[in-house]
Amino acid sequence: MDFIAQLGPLAFVSRMRRLAETVNAQAGAVYQQYGLDFDPKCFPVFWLLSERGPMSITEIAEQLGFSHPAIIQLARQLEQEDLIVSGKSATDGRKRILQLSETGQARQPEFRQVWSYIQAVNTQLLNEQRHNLLWAVEELENALAQQDYLSRFSAYLKERQQEEVTILPYEPAFAPYFKALNIAWIEQYFAVEAHDLEQLDAPEAILAGGGHILFAQYRGHIVGTVALVADGPGVFEMAKMAVDPKVQGKQIGKKLGLAAVETARQAGARQLWLESNTQLFPALELYRKLGFYKVEMSATPYARANIKMKLDL
């Protein structure tokens, strides 16, 4: 039973490492056949120095795309094998310069002969495969150069987080959450005002006036809410959006906002508007991503409101 193979994509990096270790071990035996005590892992550094001449640790790391510590480790091993020597740069005492030792120089013809054989065998091995591994590796490297692994993981996590959020319509049992979530959010930044309590204490009045109230459920808990308050034919105010601070950063506000826009669109709305405060940078960025744009401020019942935004549907 091949445990690593059974893990599939989850362990593909481990499988590549295992393959590299297998080939390196067998290649090491090849070097020994020719009387060369050489670790194949050191090949890139030794080859680069034989081709380019003296180089610093940093230059080698940049050329090979290896980490600085990895180059130091390989260089130390090559020094122990008396194939390279190191010393301070003549122009910059902080730099460590590596170059082939006398032994390394003298044994180059032997190494180059073995390398030519290894290249021929590697080419033969790759050509025997239905899928050329070098091409596949190059494609993978290019894909990661365009978007690194962490960015890909973060994007996937955002998608999964949104999938874990369920948007629910108003139910009487949700009324306490409508008030509690908003009070907690408002008090975190501002003071609760009279108009806040008018709406939070009577959510049914929003519904009776032709509005809507939505809730976000995450892992079985109500963690967010938003209201659409009717404001004339085809117009809604998007108000009372709040998300539990414990679950912020999980794309819940975004999903609530998208759901609110879609609900308004399905209700035949032609425009949404909202009021906010310029201190709330994350909220304003979310509104912009939803398509809202800044308009001139008008009379408002809220002392905290200093910016108005609209969205044309």
Same-domain pairing of 28 and 134: yes
What's the pTM value of the predicted model, to 2 decimals?
0.61
pLDDT value at 91 more than 90: no
Task: Indicate whether 34 and 175 sit together in one domain.
Answer: no
Count: domains in the chain? 2
Is residue 159 domain-resident?
Answer: no
pLDDT at residue number 7: 85
- Judge whether residue 162 has pLDDT over 80: no
| Same domain assignment for residues 121 and 171 | no
Question: pLDDT > 90: what percent of the chain?
Answer: 78
| 173 and 249 belong to one structural domain | yes
**Residues 123 and 251 both lie in one domain:** no
For residue 202, pLDDT over 80 is answered with yes
CB burial of residue 277 (10 Å; 0-12, 13-18, 19+) = middle
E-assigned strand segments in 28-171: 55-56, 84-88, 96-100, 165-169
Distance CA 123, CA 119 (A): 6
Give per-residue pLDDT as tens, 260-312: 999 999 999 999 999 999 999 999 999 999 999 999 999 999 999 999 999 99
Q: What is the pLDDT of residue 123?
A: 93
| Percentage of the residues of the chain whose pLDDT score is greater than 70 | 100
Say which CATH number the domain at 11 has.
1.10.10.10
Residue 20 shares a structural domain with residue 111:
yes
264 in Cβ contact with 298 (< 8 Å): no
Query: Are both 20 and 103 inside the same structural domain?
Result: yes
- In this predicted structure, what is the pLDDT of residue 164? 83
Block residue for tokens 């230059």: 59
- 123 and 47 in a single domain? The answer is yes
Q: Taking residues 229-256, report their average pLDDT.
A: 93
Taking only the tens place, the pLDDT of each residue in 172-200 is 999 999 999 999 999 999 999 999 999 99
Selection from 87, 101, 110, 106 nearest residue 31 by Cα:
110
118 CB burial (10 A radius; 0-12, 13-18, 19+): middle
Q: Which domain holds residue 183?
A: 164-312
